[in-house]
C-alpha cells in the first residue's frame, strides 16, 4: 500500500515535470520571447529555486509535517501558475517565474525525502520500482505535450495546470504515519553536511553530471526543430530516453547496489561525455536517437548514486537538507548557470552547447577516485 502511494506521488509529480523541463521554453517563446530571452527566464527561475529548495524546504520541514508541506506547496504552485496567463512580456513573465520557482520546485525534494524516509523505515519499499512510475508519468506527459504543442503550443500551460491540480488532489490523501512528523534538525544542518568531504564531493559530482543536462532539457526541442524534425515526433524521441530510465530503475536495486557510489558516478561520467560529444560531432537525427538510451546512465545512475549515498550515510534528521541541497545545487543552480551559458553557445551553433556540456562533465573523472577513497576510509560513518 505504501509502495503504491509513493509510486503514485512520483507518477503525478513527474507528469508535470515532463511538461516543465522540455516544453516550458517552447511555451515562453509563444508569449513573444526570443530563444535567448526564454533561456534567461528559465535561468532566473533555476537560480531562485536553488534558494527555495536549499533553505525554504528544510525550514518548512522543521516547522510542519512533511505531508502538510506537500499540501501547502501544491496549493501555492497551482495559484501562482495561473498568474502566468495574463502576461506577454519579458518583465511580467520573469516576475511570475521568480514566485513560481520559489514554490513548485520544492515538490522534487519533497518526493525524494518521502522516498528516503520510507526506504529507511519501512520494509519492502523498493525505491527503483517506485521511481520508475515517475518516469512513466514523464513519458506520458512528453508524448501528450508533444501532440498538444503540434496543434497549438499555447495549450502547454493548460496541460501543466491540469497536472498541478492532480498534485493538489493527491496531497489531500492521508500519508503514511512515518511522514506525519516534523523532521527536527540541529541548527546549521546544511552547513554540517557541507563540512563532510565525502558529501561535498558526492554533491559536486551530482552538480556537474545533472547540470550537464541543461542543454538537453532546455534546448533539446529547439535543436531537433533546427535539424528539421516535426514537433509531433519530438515527444516520441524524448520518450526513448525515459524508457531507458525506466528500465534502469526497474533493475537498479538488483544490479547497481553491487557497485559502490564512486563507481556509479564514474560510469555516469563516462556515459555523459560520450552522449553530449556525439550529439555535437554528428549533427543528425540518427545519432541523437541512439544517444537517448544513455539517459539511463547520465541521469538515472547519477540520481541513484546520490540516493544510495543518502540512504547509507545520511542520518534521518538531515535527509531534507541533503535532498534540498541536491535539488538546489545539482538540479537548479548548476543547471541554471549552464542553461544561461548554453543560450550564448547556441548563438554560435545549435550543437555547440552539447560540446560545452561534455567539457563540464570531464572533472567528474577525477573526483570519483577521491570519493572512493573517502568512503572506504569512513565506511560506517553517518553525517
The reply to whether 190-378 shares the fold of 1-174 is yes
Query: CA dist 270 to 86, 137, 263, 273, 354, Å?
Result: 45, 28, 11, 5, 15
- Rounded distance between C-alpha atoms, residue 127 and residue 133, angstroms: 10
- Rounded distance between C-alpha atoms, residue 58 and residue 205, angstroms: 22
List all residues 6 or more positions away from 290 whose beta carbon is below 8 Å from its beta carbon: 278
Question: What's the pLDDT score for residue 180?
Answer: 65
Question: What's the pLDDT score for residue 182?
Answer: 64
Domain covering 1-174 assigned CATH 3.40.50.1580 in the classification = no
Which pLDDT tens digits describe the chain residue by residue (383 residues)? Answer: 778 888 999 999 999 998 997 788 889 988 888 877 887 888 788 788 888 888 888 888 888 888 888 899 999 999 999 999 998 888 899 999 999 999 999 999 889 888 888 877 766 678 888 888 988 898 888 778 888 888 888 889 999 999 999 999 998 887 776 676 666 555 556 777 888 889 999 999 999 999 999 889 878 888 888 888 777 778 778 888 888 988 998 888 888 878 889 999 999 999 999 999 999 988 888 999 999 999 999 999 999 999 989 888 887 778 888 888 898 888 778 887 888 888 888 888 888 899 999 999 999 999 999 999 888 765 445 55
C-alpha cell, 85:
496567463
Helix axes 334-348, 214-226, angle to 10 degrees: 30
Q: Long-range contacts of range 365-371, CB-CB < 8 Å, 24 or more positions apart?
A: 365/266, 365/269, 365/270, 367/201, 367/204, 367/205, 367/265, 368/205, 368/262, 368/263, 368/265, 368/266, 368/269, 369/262, 370/201, 371/198, 371/201, 371/202, 371/205, 371/261, 371/262, 371/265
Question: What's the pLDDT score for residue 380?
Answer: 45
Fold of 190-378: Growth Hormone; Chain: A; (1.20.1250)
C-alpha cell, 84:
502566468
- Rounded distance between C-alpha atoms, residue 367 and residue 266, angstroms: 9
Query: CA dist 102 to 51, 145, 160, 243, Å?
Result: 8, 24, 17, 30
Q: What is the residue extent of each domain of the chain?
A: 1-174, 190-378
Amino acid at each position: 500500500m505504501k509502495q503504491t502511494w509513493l509510486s503514485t506521488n512520483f507518477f503525478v509529480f513527474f507528469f508535470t515535470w515532463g511538461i516543465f523541463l522540455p516544453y516550458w521554453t517552447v511555451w515562453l517563446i509563444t508569449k513573444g520571447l526570443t530563444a535567448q530571452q526564454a533561456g534567461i527566464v528559465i535561468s532566473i527561475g533555476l537560480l531562485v529555486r536553488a534558494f527555495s529548495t536549499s533553505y525554504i524546504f528544510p525550514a518548512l520541514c522543521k516547522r510542519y509535517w512533511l505531508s502538510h508541506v506537500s499540501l501547502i506547496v501544491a496549493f501555492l504552485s497551482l495559484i501562482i501558475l495561473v498568474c502566468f496567463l495574463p502576461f506577454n512580456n519579458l518583465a511580467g513573465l520573469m516576475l511570475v517565474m521568480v514566485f513560481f520557482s520559489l514554490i513548485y520546485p520544492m515538490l522534487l525534494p519533497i518526493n525524494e525525502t518521502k522516498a528516503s524516509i520510507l526506504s529507511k523505515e519501512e520494509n519492502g519499499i523498493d525505491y527503483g520500482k517506485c521511481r520508475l512510475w515517475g518516469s512513466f508519468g514523464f513519458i506520458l506527459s512528453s508524448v501528450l505535450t508533444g501532440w498538444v504543442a503540434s496543434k497549438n503550443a499555447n495549450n502547454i500551460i493548460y496541460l501543466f495546470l491540469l497536472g498541478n491540480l492532480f498534485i493538489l488532489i493527491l496531497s489531500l490523501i492521508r500519508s503514511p504515519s512515518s511522514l506525519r512528523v516534523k523532521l527536527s534538525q540541529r541548527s546549521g544542518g546544511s552547513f554540517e553536511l557541507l563540512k563532510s568531504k565525502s558529501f561535498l564531493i558526492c554533491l559536486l559530482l551530482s552538480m556537474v553530471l545533472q547540470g550537464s543536462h541543461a542543454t538537453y532539457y532546455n534546448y533539446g526541442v529547439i535543436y531537433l526543430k533546427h535539424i528539421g524534425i516535426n514537433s509531433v515526433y519530438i515527444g516520441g524521441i524524448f520518450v526513448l530516453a525515459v524508457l531507458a530510465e525506466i528500465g534502469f530503475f526497474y533493475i537498479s536495486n538488483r544490479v547497481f547496489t553491487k557497485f559502490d557510489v564512486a563507481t556509479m558516478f564514474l560510469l555516469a561520467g563516462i556515459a555523459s561525455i560520450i552522449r553530449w560529444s556525439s550529439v555535437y560531432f554528428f549533427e543528425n537525427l540518427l545519432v541523437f536517437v541512439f544517444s537517448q538510451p544513455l539517459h539511463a546512465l547520465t541521469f538515472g545512475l547519477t540520481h541513484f548514486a546520490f540516493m544510495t549515498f543518502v540512504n547509507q550515510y545520511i542520518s534521518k534528521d538531515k535527509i531534507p537538507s541533503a535532498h534540498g541541497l541536491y535539488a538546489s545545487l545539482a538540479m537548479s543552480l548548476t543547471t541554471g548557470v549552464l542553461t544561461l551559458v548554453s543560450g550564448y553557445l547556441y548563438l554560435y551553433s545549435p550543437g555547440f552547447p552539447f560540446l560545452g556540456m561534455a567539457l563540464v562533465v570531464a572533472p567528474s573523472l577525477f573526483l570519483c577516485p577521491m570519493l572512493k577513497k573517502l568512503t572506504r576510509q569512513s565506511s560506517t560513518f553517518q553525517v
